[in-house]
Amino acid sequence: MGLRNLFSREKVLYYPGCLTKGVLIEQFENYKEIFNRLGIDFVLLSDEEVCCGLPVLNAGYKKDARKLAKKNFDIFKKKGITKIVTNCPSCYHMFEDVYSDLVRDWNIKVEHVTVTILNMLKKKKIKYKGEEREVVSYHDPCHLGRYSGIYEEPREVIKLLGGKIVEMKKNKENAICCGAGAGMRANFPQVAKAAAKKRVANIENKVGKIISPCGLCYFNIKSATDKSVEFSSFVLGKLRGMK
């Protein structure tokens, strides 16, 4: 874990979210290594961390979601957290757009990891210097794109690290859902898989990877194609390859 600068007023929490922390262990480790390589100081909450509450809220249990939000806020304030960085688009949307309606005096800054990484790459002037670029495509997660308006930052990171993006026919504001959200993959896995197949049906053959910064999108698209790659795997692979 990165060590926080004792003289800094900012205390950054890396909040991986339930899926990353509990299932996508490799990606969880990837992000921590990326932060350390880029000099991003952060802390973790380990076992004290609880769900952001979005699945509970979407299921109609607003009172329980409010309790989770209050519990999180109390933990964050107790630990002196001033900023949250998360790789989960759903957690980002919950903290950034919903918590202010659930928790009185919510005042913690929130940043999606794609923005954090982009800012550090630019600050450290890190970019790919080779001539040959890896041909990839990019899938816009619903919560990161249409909900939160983050489209360009992850694409900029991919380009800075040597990726050449071949856009899907439906992208950005018009992107098609991967099919896993809103409990679809958990309750109707075959429907979710069919949606993933539809999402990648028209990918050009020259595309070697389909990158998404959403663990659930990555996981579901992987059920339809081996080309599915989570954002951190692409970023870390490129950083490791740089001298």
Based on the fold, state whether residues 80 and 168 are members of the same structural domain: no
Please tell me whether residue 56 adopts helix, strand or coil conformation. helix
> What is the reported pLDDT for 8?
53
- Total domains, the chain: 2
> What is the reported pLDDT for 243?
66
Tell me: pLDDT of 4 over 60. Answer: no
Q: Is residue 141 within 8 Å of residue 217, measured between CB atoms?
A: yes
Domain membership flag for residue 140: yes
* Domain C-terminal end among 66, 95, 116: 116
> What is the reported pLDDT for 129?
93
C-alpha 151, offset from chain centre: 12
> What is the reported pLDDT for 6?
43
Question: Each residue of 167-211: pLDDT tens digit?
Answer: 999 999 999 999 998 888 888 999 999 999 999 998 999 999 999
> What is the reported pLDDT for 205?
93
Please indicate, yes or no, whether the overall pTM of this predicted structure exceeds 0.85: yes
* Domain C-terminal end among 89, 116, 143: 116
Tell me: pLDDT of 5 over 60. Answer: no
**Which residue segment(s) compose the domain that 187 sits in?**
127-241
- 146 to each of 142, 149, 176, how far by Cα in Å? 6, 6, 11
Domain membership flag for residue 47: yes
Q: How confident is the model at residue 113 (pLDDT cuts 50, 70, 90)?
A: very high
Structure tokens at 30: 């990837």
Based on the fold, state whether residues 109 and 168 are members of the same structural domain: no
DSSP character at residue 110: E
Q: Is residue 137 within 8 Å of residue 167, measured between CB atoms?
A: yes
> What is the reported pLDDT for 47?
85
Based on the fold, state whether residues 72 and 138 are members of the same structural domain: no
Tell me: pLDDT of 95 over 70. Answer: yes
Please tell me whether residue 52 adopts helix, strand or coil conformation. coil
Based on the fold, state whether residues 141 and 201 are members of the same structural domain: yes
Question: Each residue of 139-162: pLDDT tens digit?
Answer: 999 999 999 999 999 999 999 999
> What is the reported pLDDT for 58?
92
